[in-house]
Amino acid sequence: MESDGGSKMFTLPKAAVWEPDPGDIYVERGLLDTQGLLAAVKTVANYSVDAVLSFYHEERTIETDGFVKHQRMGFYVLQFQENSRFYIYADYVPEKLKELCIFHMLPHRVVFPNNLPILLSPNVVGHIFHEWVHLLELDFLGYETALSIKNLPIFGECVDLQIFEDPKAETIGFNAFNDDARITRQIPIVEQGRIVGFIDSSAYPCHYLGCGYLGYNNSAFPIPRTTNLVIQARPIVYESERALVITELDLELLNKDPVSTRIRIKNCEGVYIERGMPIYRVNWKVGIETTVQELVCSMIFLNSSNIHLTVVGGICVKNGIAVRSAQSAPPVLLDGLLGKSLLPR
């Protein structure tokens, strides 16, 4: 018997027992080199920002069934004076550092034009779906509940929406294997607006593709984690003369049911853009509640080449366990009343 993280108990089917992939694995990503380090330092030094640039080197080794799986990975962390911290996959450092420094040099404004289109940056879109997908991790959801909602058309109006976990995507969330000694692979989560899969681990197996991680503090056993989420939809071409792009927001899930959860949005941070270029930064307070379906179905996914806001990763903490995490998503135009409700008052 296994607990689903709540009050119910369930029995795992024997078919879900998984055996580790055999074979030795040795993987390297983003290791420190002198030329790359000098380029990163030079990039930050070119801008008048009060920031600290650090490089981190992570190694993971798992031995199982006589085989060794070893991964070495490097990444940069850029921290500004106001405690904004950005985790950057080492292969794209100069470009990302330049964008972040330019953004943080923008002036702050209190007054700005009204009735602007509201866009969500790729980071914010990724953050929204990341928090929702946490509710589809089997240690929280439970196997029986997962079965009851599988194939549910939760985003029925958004039939083009695809969400999947891709641990091997080249981002800060890259992992060639997880702490169950499994070779990582893509896990479909939402296809054509329907829930089709869940995040599992060896302790909570559902369809043998799990992403179980110990985190950096070596907990007793791996728990299901989303670490490299990809959000895709059929985008439209969008070019706006002026817009307000939300780059950060305070998001709270008011209940823990992935189907009925309501979302509260509070403080927002954004940037005013003209012809795609950021002009100044703004902060404002909002206080709206909506359903996850209303929020997602208000999203118009964009294929926009003139929204120059970088995509970075971070650290996700669950049950006190921290892992690298990234989300890949397009920018979004918020349509209808929901978009208007997020405008500064």
Q: Are residues 200 and 179 part of one domain?
A: yes
Q: Note whether residue 300 is domain-resident.
A: yes
DSSP designation for 91: G
Q: Note whether residue 189 is domain-resident.
A: yes
Beta bridge partners of 71: 27, 60
Condensed to tens digits (0 to 9), the pLDDT of residues 294-341 reads 999 889 998 865 565 666 678 888 888 888 899 999 999 988 767 667
Condensed to tens digits (0 to 9), the pLDDT of residues 192-243 reads 999 998 888 766 555 434 566 655 545 557 788 888 999 999 888 887 788 8
Burial 209-244 (b: 16+ CB within 10 A, else e): bbbbbbbeeeeeebbbbbbbbbbebeeeebebeebb
Q: How many domains does one find in the chain?
A: 2
Band (pLDDT 50/70/90 cuts) for residue 7 is very low
Q: Are residues 171 and 54 part of one domain?
A: no
Q: Are residues 174 and 136 part of one domain?
A: yes
What is the predicted pLDDT for the residue at 133? 94
Q: Are residues 303 and 232 part of one domain?
A: yes
For the chain, the distance separating the N- and C-terminal CA atoms, rounded to the nearest angstrom, is 53
pTM above 0.95, yes or no: no
Q: Note whether residue 19 is domain-resident.
A: no
The domain containing residue 83 runs over which residues?
A: 25-104
Domain boundary residue among 72, 104, 136?
Answer: 104
Q: Are residues 292 and 211 part of one domain?
A: yes
Average the pLDDT over each of 123-137, 165-179, 301-315 and give the range with the smallest value. 301-315
Q: Note whether residue 15 is domain-resident.
A: no
Q: Are residues 95 and 155 part of one domain?
A: no
Q: Are residues 161 and 65 part of one domain?
A: no
Q: Note whether residue 327 is domain-resident.
A: yes
Q: Note whether residue 304 is domain-resident.
A: yes
What is the predicted pLDDT for the residue at 10? 29
Q: Are residues 230 and 95 part of one domain?
A: no
Q: Which residue has the higher pLDDT, 321 or 1?
A: 321
CA dihedral 74, 212, 158, 248 (to 10 degrees): -50
CB atoms within 10 A of CB 161: 22
Condensed to tens digits (0 to 9), the pLDDT of residues 71-94 reads 998 889 999 876 688 888 876 688
Q: Note whether residue 13 is domain-resident.
A: no
**How much is the mean pLDDT over the chain?**
81
Q: Note whether residue 14 is domain-resident.
A: no
